[in-house]
Amino acid sequence: MSRSVSQVAFRWDGGTPTSVMQRVHARWLISVGALVASVGFLWQSAAGAGGHYVSVIFGPAVLISLAVACSTHR
């Protein structure tokens, strides 16, 4: 059986995000996700041209990715 890298890396069934989604109401997850995403976008918009990769791209990308993970409810 052949699987792509994304199928292996982004397997969400039975893991921690699924258990959090079962214990916390969807409204709270979506609200927290929107708040975290706005902080990530605000951080990214304040980035300058001479900044380091971690502070300009990686940090905001991690926050935005966490926000998408929180806001994605099945």
C-beta of residue 21 within 8 angstroms of C-beta of residue 73:
yes
The dihedral built from the CA positions of residue 28, 29, 35 and 39, taken in this order, carries a sign that is positive
Split into its structural domains, the chain has a count of 1
Domain assignment of residue 47, given as a range: 5-71
Q: List, for residues 4-63, the tens digit of each pLDDT value.
A: 554 555 554 545 556 666 777 778 888 888 888 899 999 989 888 888 888 888 989 988
pTM of the predicted model as reported, rounded to 2 decimal places: 0.63
Q: List, for residues 58-67, the tens digit of each pLDDT value.
A: 989 988 888 8
Separation between Cα atoms, residue 23 and residue 58, nearest integer Å: 30
